[in-house]
Amino acid sequence: MKIIRCKSDLRQLTDAWTRAGEIIGVVPTMGALHAGHLSLVTTAKAQCNRVIVTLFVNPRQFTNPEDLANYPRTEDSDAVKLAPFNVDVLYIPDPSEMYPAGFATSISVSGVSAGLCGGARPGHFDGVTTVVAKLLLQTAGDAAFFGEKDFQQLQVVKRLALDLDLKTKIIGCPTIREDDGLAMSSRNLRLGEAARKLAPQVYVELSQTAAAIEQGASVPQELARASAALSAAGFGPIDYLELRSAANLAPLTHPDQPARLFVAAWLDGVRLIDNVAVG
Ligand code: AMP
């Protein structure tokens, strides 16, 4: 696995691969790799001739400077974790490589980015779409792999690729969970011991609520019950707990089409997000 930090070095490799007709897969990450990220790598390896994992903690998608400062940075152990996967390149650009002096472009996707994380973190998705567009172009990716853990992000990136005629096919991969159901996330490292024990309750509530809605319970009543249960358990604030269309993320009060239940809840100063399918 080559570690590359400079986009011109990366371009030399990807040009040669493209000329040889090889399919390039990309797995964009912010590092602090866990089994969720590695599942994307496994899928990419199975579908592509070449795989590039990118590691970039993108300052433009953080809406809180403290969150950016506290984001775990574990480059050396990330490289060790990737070693068994026979990835071709670990691309670790510097912020100055991504945003050189004079950088003035921002890409904004409307519609699917409204509400949920887009509502709770204004500007977040503009940061995501701008960096993802750059990474897909820099890596010349034919396919890029994103987790359903960040379901809204996956929909936003799909829209971006479609609207900008990018050649990259966007592929969603299932959420990988700890044994107790907690969705794996780099931010879980910041949970204290007691909070870590409580955190799986998010998935318990999501699963129970999804099942109740599937069995015909009133959506507003179930959402209110689950929100109250999370607050009573010690979560707070709860940024959102909502049922939305899986296809276009429109808010739903009846699950009359494939839907997803989304939550973002704070615990121990850490923002946990998760989502499950309904129907
Ligand atoms: P991040 O490093 O958090 O920006 O995540 C990089 C990619 O890994 C994104 O496509 C995420 O959706 C995906 N990802 C993060 N956690 C998980 C998980 N538990 N299961 C599957 N994919 C994940």
Q: Tens digits of per-residue pLDDT, 150-174?
A: 999 999 999 999 999 999 999 999 9
Q: Are 238 and 102 in contact (CB under 8 A)?
A: no
Which residues neighbour 217 within 8 Å (Cβ) at sequence distance 6 or greater?
A: none
Above 90 in pLDDT, residue 279?
no
Q: What is the token pair recorded at 157?
A: 């990136």
Atom of ligand 1 nearest to the CA of 177: 19
Continuous H helices in 114-218: 116-120, 124-139, 151-163, 193-198, 201-214
Q: Is 185 in the pocket of ligand 1 (CB under 6 A)?
A: yes
Amino acid present at 2:
K
**Ligand 1 and 36: CB distance under 6 A:** yes
If pLDDT is split at 50, 70 and 90, which confidence band does 188 have?
A: very high
If you measure from the C-alpha of residue 9 to the centroid of ligand 1, how many angstroms do you get, rounded to a whole number? 26
Q: Which amino acid is at 30?
A: M
pLDDT at 95: 95
Share of the chain above pLDDT 70, in %: 100
Confidence band (pLDDT; 50, 70, 90) for 145?
Answer: very high
Give the H or E element holding residue 224: helix 219-233
Choose, from 34, 37, 124, 254, the residue flagged as catalytic.
37
Distance 161 CA to ligand 1 centre (A): 18
Point out which residues pair with 28 in neighbouring strands. Answer: 54
Residues 6+ apart with CB under 8 A from 22: 49, 50
pLDDT value of residue 146: 99
Residue 205's closest CA among 250, 117, 251, 264?
Answer: 264
Residue 211 CA to ligand 1 center (angstroms) comes to 25
Q: Is 58 in the pocket of ligand 1 (CB under 6 A)?
A: no
**Is there an atom of ligand 1 within 6 Å of 29 CB?**
yes
d(CA 201, CA 272): 11
Active site (annotated) includes residue 37: yes
Domains, the chain, in order of start with CATH, read 2-173 (3.40.50.620), 186-278 (3.30.1300.10)
The preferred substitution site among 60, 150, 186 for testing ligand 1, maximizing ligand atoms within 8 Å of CB, is: 150
User: DSSP string covering 64-87, please?
Assistant: -HHHHHHS---HHHHHHHHGGGT-
Residue 153: predicted pLDDT: 98
Q: Could you please report the per-residue DSSP string of 29-47? A: E-SS--HHHHHHHHHHHHH
The proportion of the chain whose per-residue pLDDT surpasses 90, expressed as a percent, equals: 98
Q: What is the number of other CB atoms lying within 10 angstroms of the CB of residue 185?
A: 23
* HSE, side-chain direction, 13 A CA sphere, residue 14: 23
Please state the length of the chain: 279
Q: Cα of 117 to ligand 1 centre, how many Å? A: 15
Q: 82 and 90 in contact (C-beta within 8 Å)? A: yes
Contact 241, 223 (CB under 8 A): yes
- The model's pLDDT over 72-117, given as tens digits with 9 standing for 90+, comes to 999 999 999 999 999 999 999 999 999 999 999 999 999 999 999 9
Closest Cα to residue 190, out of 87, 136, 266? 266
Q: Confidence band (pLDDT; 50, 70, 90) for 24? A: very high
How far apart CA 24 and CA 49 sit, in angstroms, is: 6
Q: What is the pLDDT of residue 78?
A: 98
